[in-house]
Amino acid sequence: MHVEWHVEDAVVASVAAHAARAVPGVARLEPGMAGLVRGWGRSRWQQVKGLTPAPADGVGVRRAGDDVEVWVGIATRAGTQAAAVARAVQREVRARLVRDTGVEPGRVSVTVLDVVR
């Protein structure tokens, strides 16, 4: 028997967002301009379909065949080392995606867009 499965991008984004928020030093996720447009479009599509939008603002997912790329925009807390927090977010997002969805991203990019006091 052959079983084929596919994890939707919205699920990948939601799991990545949850993982990123759990990293110490992350104040919040930041969508940036492209993320705002993407998030608005996703929310509208989910509303039309009658779905509850998954909390994934600040996360983008792109697929090319079996390759999955994930982008995360974050705001770090003042007094933390932004680069160290970004690396921790990369590790946590990758590990959580593999563990919770079976999706192994080819790339996880993290951008620090703000520092919060």
Give the single-character DSSP code of 16. Answer: H
Mean pLDDT computed over every residue of the chain: 87
Of the two residues 42 and 71, the one the predictor is more confident about is 71
Report whether pLDDT(10) > 60: yes
pLDDT per residue as tens digits for the range 35-69: 545 555 656 665 677 665 566 889 999 999 889 99
Report whether pLDDT(23) > 70: yes
Pair type for strands 107-116 and 59-64: unpaired
Q: Where are the alpha helices (DSSP H) in 1-117?
A: 9-21, 32-49, 82-101
CA distance 86 to 29: 12
This prediction's pTM:
0.81
